[in-house]
Amino acid sequence: MSALTFTIEQRSPRGGARAGTLLTPHGVIHTPVFTPVGTKANVKGILPAQLKALGAEAVLANTYHLYLQPGEEVVQQAGGLASFMNWQGPTITDSGGFQVFSLGAAFGKTISKFVREEAPQEQGVSVYDESVASQHGQLAVIDDEGVSFTSHLDGSLHRFTPERSIEIQHALGADIFFAFDECTSPTETYEYQREAMERTHRWAERSLATHRHNIDANKKQAIFGIVQGGRYEDLRRESAREIASLGFDGIGIGGSFSKEDMRGALQAAVGELPEELPRHFLGIGEPGDILEGIASGMDMFDCVAATRIGRHGSIYTKQGILHLRNGQFTNDFSPLDPETPIPGTESFTRAYVSHLVRAGEMTGSVICSLHNVGFILRLVSGARQAILDGRFDDYRADFVRNYYG
């Protein structure tokens, strides 16, 4: 018996968008939903009570980071992830697969979850998770049994297998967690994408078996399998069929794509997934991509982008991203986004926050991060209401027209 119950309330009259509810041991999640990322059991610059005020219903933390610091035993002794971080609501953990990617194929390269073929020099940030880059160098060696890697903190050697990843995530105690998978670079060959996908399938079976053998965890936690296959639609279909056949409580779409290939790869996978299971699009947080995912039938999203760009002084607005470090905002005394007032930041002006971020004041990054997380939460909440009202296509079209010009 699954530790969660998923109910679809409404489907869009056209396309795959759907609104539902996900009942977990720590509360209800209304979908579609954006889950802010609290990598190390904190969303950078934002307190749990502030997340609640912004409308967050769940947070996602990272297995790799919490394993290294403070250690899963500490989190378990605190009563689990939610108690440890004083979060009153559902929690999710990912498997650590993205961090393996960061230490391996992506380390020291300009490769991220997305790659633009027409502009390879602008492929993205140096690694998926900037906090795994350190002076200790690279080591992430993948074999059929698991992954050996060095800690970005002190260079010590560690080993993850599917069984070990699940054991750690049981100790962390999140309501939802993910099977261990291999995330590949979007530039890998078709042959390697297939090899990694098949290895992910074998790891999925081992992850699921480990979870099902823990009767106590089965009552409290739900496990999602992860679809891989890179940018290749045939591999995505094959992977979706295989993962869906194994009996997971939900499905995650993981890995990496060409930005231009995202729609095809996503729709190829979704077409093979059972309607009754919740679907999580891992690592997706750019506004247009979230709406694309919702239109394709995805229910859950997470990403670090909102706080990452906030720390660098950039904010989302309905007219696109504004880089407040730019001199044009020095005397701009208008609100951050007049069309999207966010609780806690609505009274600050662009001129003031521009001053803070250019002066290197922490408060500027905090204000930008609060605004950005609130903006994405409001975008997705609005999409949910639009689905319930039967007007999602118009909602999406209006947003895209204004945001992208």
Q: Which of 235, 281, 256, 223 is nearest to 101 (CA)?
A: 256
Is the model's pLDDT at 360 over the cut of 90? yes
Confidence (pLDDT) at 152 = 81
Summarised one tens digit per residue, pLDDT across range 379-396 is: 999 999 999 999 999 999
Long-range contacts: 211-220, Cβ < 8 Å, 24+?
211/166, 211/170, 214/170, 217/170, 218/1, 218/3, 219/1, 219/3, 220/3, 220/25, 220/173, 220/175
Of the two residues 324 and 108, the one the predictor is more confident about is 324
Summarised one tens digit per residue, pLDDT across range 27-86 is: 999 999 999 999 999 999 999 999 999 999 999 999 999 999 999 999 999 999 999 999
The reported pTM is: 0.91
Compute the distance between CA of residue 69 and CA of residue 99 in angstroms, rounded to an integer.
14
Residues 6 or more apart whose CB falls under 8 angstroms from that of 260 comprise: 116, 117
- What is the percent of the chain with per-residue pLDDT over 90, rounded to a whole number? 77
CATH (residue range 5-303)? 3.20.20.105
- What is the percent of the chain with per-residue pLDDT over 70, rounded to a whole number? 89
Question: Is 302 annotated as catalytic?
Answer: yes
Is the model's pLDDT at 120 over the cut of 50? no
Q: Where are the domains of the chain?
A: 5-303, 305-405
Compute the distance between CA of residue 390 and CA of residue 399 in angstroms, rounded to an integer.
16
Q: Give the pLDDT mean for 197-223.
A: 96
Please identify which residue in the block is written with the tokens 């591999």.
235
Longest dimension (CA), the chain: 62
Confidence band for 119, pLDDT divided at 50, 70 and 90: very low
The end-to-end CA distance of the chain, in Å, is: 48
User: Catalytic: which of 94, 261, 289, 337?
Assistant: 94
Compute the distance between CA of residue 14 and CA of residue 33 in angstroms, rounded to an integer.
20
| Cα angle value 57/348/46 (rounded, 5°) | 30
Q: Give the pLDDT mean for 126-136.
A: 46
Compute the distance between CA of residue 388 and CA of residue 10 in angstroms, rounded to an integer.
6
Question: Is 234 annotated as catalytic?
Answer: no
Amino acid at 113: K
Compute the distance between CA of residue 296 and CA of residue 249 in angstroms, rounded to an integer.
20
Confidence (pLDDT) at 130 = 52
Compute the distance between CA of residue 315 and CA of residue 191 in angstroms, rounded to an integer.
40
Confidence (pLDDT) at 75 = 98
Confidence band for 109, pLDDT divided at 50, 70 and 90: very low
User: Catalytic: which of 181, 261, 299, 302?
Assistant: 302
Compute the distance between CA of residue 118 and CA of residue 259 in angstroms, rounded to an integer.
10
Whether the Cβ atoms of residue 75 and residue 81 lie closer than 8 Å to each other: yes
Compute the distance between CA of residue 405 and CA of residue 403 in angstroms, rounded to an integer.
6
Confidence (pLDDT) at 153 = 82
Summarised one tens digit per residue, pLDDT across range 140-193 is: 788 899 988 888 888 888 899 999 999 999 999 999 999 999 988 888 899 999
Of the two residues 126 and 327, the one the predictor is more confident about is 327
Across all residues in the chain, what is the average pLDDT?
A: 90
Confidence (pLDDT) at 137 = 53
Of the two residues 3 and 25, the one the predictor is more confident about is 25
Is the model's pLDDT at 314 over the cut of 90? yes
For 294-326, the DSSP string reads HHTT--EEEESHHHHHHHTTEEEETTEEEETTS
